[in-house]
Structure 1
């Protein structure tokens, strides 16, 4: 398979056996401290505990972490991953999540890895769910069960990227549902590709909490800089 489709760096497209090439690794910006104690967004000052968004809203998220800031070359790579069928890159991204947050998953006591779902119509059009690809590989690397039969997108919504903060919240109202046959775990981890305003993972966390999950965490590949 590697002879036919040699592994390439998701950021520059050059052949790279190591996944991310050394040149691109030097360009991408990891999320470092200080960062919000809840969502993990970078903070301007070490004296702050929470970002502006997390300070002003109720949250069903216990804690979340992301790998990189959502700017080039990360933003472009994630766009191609989702819309240009670069699904093989999911293994690279999941491997990076495991390297950075494998120990964090243990500290959280993660019992289930749950990908943020797509509506069936969007999944059919795209051919795959990028969050599920990442979650499946992360499950393989960590041994934590991946559950794609728990959380469902029960209402078709407009693309979040086309909406503002308030519009995103309204757009996701009633969008998610949880299987009635699922016995909820105490600690669940949501997986998505991008954390922008947090509306998507927040709504997903809300329905998981309503179903009985005590602590909902999340991991994403990238996160916006915020305010």
Structure 2
């Protein structure tokens, strides 16, 4: 039995926001409480814009990113924060699967349009993965790959240095914390387009560090997608 089907059988699908049984993922009531980012977002990082006429958010107007473009499913606020905390630290793998399916549904047209050939989850350091029990980005990516029929590569990018939790650091410290944290361990065609997948985008430091490593080693264009983004 496929691992995702096995998970659905063992744990009846629940809404990751309110935890009520919901075969359709996020339940209709919770869809009204959370902010899906479908318009008026930054054309670089995907953050909701303060003014609809703007093309880029304030952060992206003042700094350069390595990735080509990032898109997000949700705004990181309200009940979404608690849901992602439970997913990440409470071993709620089924939440990662639900969000991955939601990302594939909403972001699928954009992913196909950009010509993505390979999905790569942001890796955890081995010690942190053992402590947490799983890498949530990997489960999100696998759910997306299954829905979009795109390959998911968990052996391309590795985190070789254990870093401090990013949430405790300012922007400058985040960049320094992630310096030389990733390593590419195989070669792929430079014409491929990679989609990095993670759960939360705050300043973009993690995605930038991973994208720089991939571009420097392989010459590929790197895009990104996350469940939720701050702002």
TM-score strictly above 0.5: yes
How do 1:42-191 and structure 2 match up within 5 A?
42-191=48-197
Counterparts in 2 of 1:171 and 1:18: CA distance versus 1, 3 Å: same
> What are the Cα deviations for residues 171-217 of structure 1, in whole angstroms up to 9, with x where unaligned?
11111111144444531100000000110001101111102243211
Q: Report what 1:5 is aligned to.
A: 11
Q: Which residue matches 2:25?
A: 19
Range that drifts further, 110-119 or 162-171: 162-171
5+ long unaligned stretches in structure 2: 1-5
Give me the whole-angstrom Cα distance separating, in 2, the residues matched to 1:186 and 1:30: 29
Q: d(CA) in 2 for partners of 1:116 and 1:159?
A: 14
SS at 1:68 equivalent: strand
Task: Point out the structure with the larger helix share.
Answer: 2
Alpha-carbon displacement from aligned partner over 1:41-74 (angstroms, at most 9, x marks no partner): 1111233221122122222111110011101211
The superposition leaves residues 62-98 of structure 1 with CA deviations (integer Å, 9 ceiling, x where unpaired) of 1110011101211110000010110011221011011
- CA shift for structure 1 position 164: 1.4
Give TM-score, length-normalised by structure 1. Answer: 0.94
Q: Give secondary structure in 1 for the equivalent of 2:113.
A: helix
After superposition, the C-alpha distances for 1:10-39 in whole angstroms (9 at most, x for unaligned) are: 111112222211111110111142211111
Q: Would you say 1:202 and 2:208 are equivalent positions?
A: yes
Q: Mind listing any 5+ residue stretches in structure 1 that lack a counterpart?
A: none
Q: In the alignment, does 2:42 pair up with 1:36? A: yes
Q: Which one of the candidate residues 180, 191, 199 is aligned to 1:193?
A: 199
In the alignment, the residues of structure 2 paired with residue 83 and residue 184 of structure 1 have an alpha-carbon distance, to the nearest angstrom, of: 36
What is the TM-score when the length of structure 2 is the normalising length? 0.92
SS in structure 2 of the partner of residue 88 of structure 1? helix
210-219 vs 133-142, which moves further: 210-219
User: 1:111·1:185 contact (CA, 8 Å) conserved in 2?
Assistant: no
Computed over aligned residues only, the root mean square deviation of the Cα atoms, in angstroms, reads: 1.5
Q: 1:121-162: CA deviations, max 9, x gaps? A: 000111110000010111111111100101110101001111
Q: Is the 8 A contact 2:188 2:218 kept in 1?
A: no
Change (3 A) 1:7 1:60: same
Moved more, 110-119 or 13-22: 13-22
